Chains A and B, each alone.
Chain A
Amino acid sequence: MTDQAFSDTLPRAGAGQSRALRIGLRWTLYAVLILFALFYLMPLFVMVTTSLKSLEEIRTGSLVALPRAVTFDAWAKAWSGACTGIQCEGVRPYFWNSVVLAVPAVAISTFIGAVNGYIIAHWQFRGANLFFALLLFGCFIPFQVVLLPMARLLGILGLAGTIQGLIMVHVIYGLGFTTLFFRNYYVTIPQELVRAAKIDGAGFFRIFWSIFLPLSLPIIVVTVIWQFTQIWNDFLFGVSFSQAGSQPITVALNNIVNSTTGVKEYNVDMAAAIIAALPTLLVYIIAGKYFIRGLTAGSVKG
């Protein structure tokens, strides 16, 4: 070996050492990340496997074991036979309640939010900022503070315990966020665009219809997902303002799980929970990007 070669190896030895260290660190990094992934996945895994086991197997087997014999009995029962108190029709009617509730509530609150956002962003008038501030503060109230008067009002309007009543409640308290979403999106559309359209002779509705709506697809998706998730997952309004027959699925799920009649059927509970979670999970899987955008937009006010 020549001197030349030797002097070359020194730094390389150092580099080799740090490379080993780097690879070690890298492995640790991945190990930690995967460990956390397991932590987040574990409940879902347990839910799914439990829902596919028989009660007998649940009693004798381990929490995290895969089912020895897969059975969909629990799913069938959860869908159409589980008891939510005295009734034993499964979650099916409540699932449809939630659909019938969420679809119009999401559509109406998104539409009104779009018009509101458009006005606040581009048709400023005296007091518009004050209105926006009032709306924004309204987004943050704990709903407990409106529960009592709303229950009374629904009673007076004859909407107590009806799905229409719940739709109204969700629209009203969703408006703050939908308006905020659209307003924050529309302020990024340059004022000059509106001015050009005004010179072209377009008025309020024309500008909204021909220029803003065609640009709005991303924010509509974000808003619809946000509203759908909020309304589908809502429990407080559902449990406060519905009665047997008009309850949304979250309330039914809670009733099934906490019903004290008969033996505790964990597999049915888990199947019902998965059914209740499925729509929003699907939305998350299909349109995760927009879901996250909504979450961050809902938290970072701009």
Chain B
Amino acid sequence: MSDWLGRQIPKILLAPTFLAVLVFVYGFIAWTAWISFTRSRLMPQYEIDGVIQYERLFAAPRWDTAMNNLYVFGTLFIVIAMVLGLALAILLDQHIRAEGALRTIYLYPMALSMIVTGTAWKWILNPGLGIEAMVRGWGFESFSFGWLVDPDKAIYTIVLAAIWQSSGFVMALFLAGLRSVDGEIIKAAQVDGIPTWRIYTAIIIPSMAPIFLSAFIVLAHLAIKSFDLVIALTGGGPGYATDLPATYMYAMAFSRGDLGQAASSAMIMMSVVFAIVVPYLYSELRAKHD
């Protein structure tokens, strides 16, 4: 009897987490999904009423802007952060004397809250007193740099701040990858007289495919969830010019009192995340089983 109890201990201890995940993750997703098929406004209603919320969502110009912004922001952010991260990693890999210090400097933004990052860049990019004023002070009177308040350009300021925050992290990932490449292969290539850049392009970088994949997943995930940075840097403005799905959802849920729209936009966000992450996790879990 006590033996039986002993064998059940692991299950008993895991049960609360199991239930929590079941309820707070999957149950809540189900609840949100349900609400997204109702006519809920300020208060949730539970009568299913088809895909009306999704129709409203896709008809809303603001959502259109948000998805468009996500596309622009996501693409630029992921591509530039990866390229910059890889470049910095390769440069740092050249037996740099102050590597430790430089690494620390490149990576520290990752320790900051997006709100802090947004606050800092908002100040730097502010046209009246920031970079624009500084360059004009240097004598370039006609210099103008008003991206932050330009509805067409404001999204790029978010790209800039996001890259500033995250590229050091990508650098750290790639640097770890570079360091884990089998040293003997590189030595063999050096003995064969293969130039350094060819060693990188032909041997090292191809062997880092899994790291590219993880970096991509992490960045894509960051991009889709981006919320704080937009709030702090542009507040979604000017107008709705820098709205992202996350800010749209928040606005619907907490300021507009439109639960149906909030739920349906959240479901779309989740679908996008899962479209990217599920195949990745699935292959990871599969690989581990074999």
Contacts and interface: CB of A to CB of B under 8 A. Distances in A.
Interface of A: 29-30, 32-33, 36-37, 39-44, 46-47, 50, 58-59, 62-64, 112, 115-116, 119-120, 123, 125, 128, 131, 133-138, 140-152, 172-173, 175-176, 179, 203-205, 229, 232-236, 239-240, 250, 253-254, 257-258, 266, 269-270, 273-274, 276-277, 280-281, 283-285, 288, 291-292, 295-296, 299-301
A58 B129 contact: yes
24 contacts: A37-B105, A39-B164, A40-B106, A40-B168, A42-B124, A43-B164, A112-B17, A134-B22, A134-B25, A136-B281, A137-B277, A142-B266, A144-B250, A145-B269, A148-B35, A148-B259, A150-B28, A233-B114, A240-B250, A253-B115, A257-B122, A280-B113, A283-B111, A295-B169
B92 to A, nearest CB: 7
Contacts of A144: 225, 227, 245-246, 249-250, 262, 265-266, 269-270
B116 A146 contact: no
Contacts of A42: 124
Interface in B255-290: 259, 262-263, 265-267, 269-270, 273-274, 277-278, 281, 284-285
B113 A116 contact: no
Interface of B: 6, 9-11, 13-14, 16-18, 20-22, 24-29, 31-32, 35, 44, 88, 91-92, 94, 96, 102, 104-117, 119-124, 129-131, 133-134, 137, 164, 168-169, 172-173, 176, 210-211, 214-215, 217-218, 221, 224-225, 227-228, 231-232, 235, 245-246, 249-250, 253-254, 259, 262-263, 265-267, 269-270, 273-274, 277-278, 281, 284-285
Contacts of B26: 134, 138
A273 B116 CA distance: 5
A58 B270 CA distance: 44
A235 B281 contact: no
> Which 6 pairs across A and B sit closest by C-beta, in order of nearness?
A233-B113, A284-B111, A123-B10, A235-B228, A146-B28, A138-B25
B111 A140 contact: no
Contacts of A173: 24
A116 B17 CA distance: 8
B235 A258 contact: yes
Contacts of B10: 119, 123, 125, 204
Contacts of B254: 240
Contacts of B44: 148, 152
A259 B277 CA distance: 38
Nearest to A281: B111
Given A43-B120, A137-B277, A234-B113, 13 more contacts: A40-B105, A40-B106, A112-B17, A134-B25, A142-B225, A144-B227, A144-B266, A147-B266, A204-B9, A235-B228, A254-B231, A266-B129, A281-B111
A42 B117 CA distance: 12
A46 B120 contact: yes
Contacts of A203: 6
Main DSSP-derived SS at the A contact region: helix
Nearest to A47: B120
B95 to A, nearest CB: 10
Contacts of B269: 142, 144-145
Contacts of B225: 142-144
A228 to B, nearest CB: 10
The CB with the most chain B CB atoms within 10 A, among A146, A234, A283, is that of A146
Contacts of A284: 107-108, 110-111
A123 B269 CA distance: 36
Contacts of A112: 16-17
A282 B217 CA distance: 28
Contacts of A115: 13
Contacts of B110: 284, 295
A250 B17 contact: no
Contacts of B32: 145-146, 148-149
A29 B218 CA distance: 28
A76 to B, nearest CB: 19
B220 to A, nearest CB: 10
Contact of A236 (B29, B227, B259): B227
Contacts of B266: 142, 144-145, 147-148
B281 A301 contact: yes
Contact of B253 (A137, A148, A250, A277): A148
A266 B123 contact: yes
B113 A137 contact: no
Contacts of A125: 10-11
A216 B191 CA distance: 42
Given A36-B88, A112-B17, A136-B281, A149 B28 contact: yes
B232 A254 contact: yes
A145 B284 contact: no
Nearest to A282: B111
Given A150-B24, A172-B24, A33 B92 contact: yes
Contacts of A39: 164
Given A119-B13, A253-B115, A141 B273 contact: yes
A248 B123 CA distance: 22
Given A253-B119, A254-B115, A295-B110, A172 B20 contact: yes
A118 B133 CA distance: 57
Contact of B267 (A133, A145, A233, A235): A145
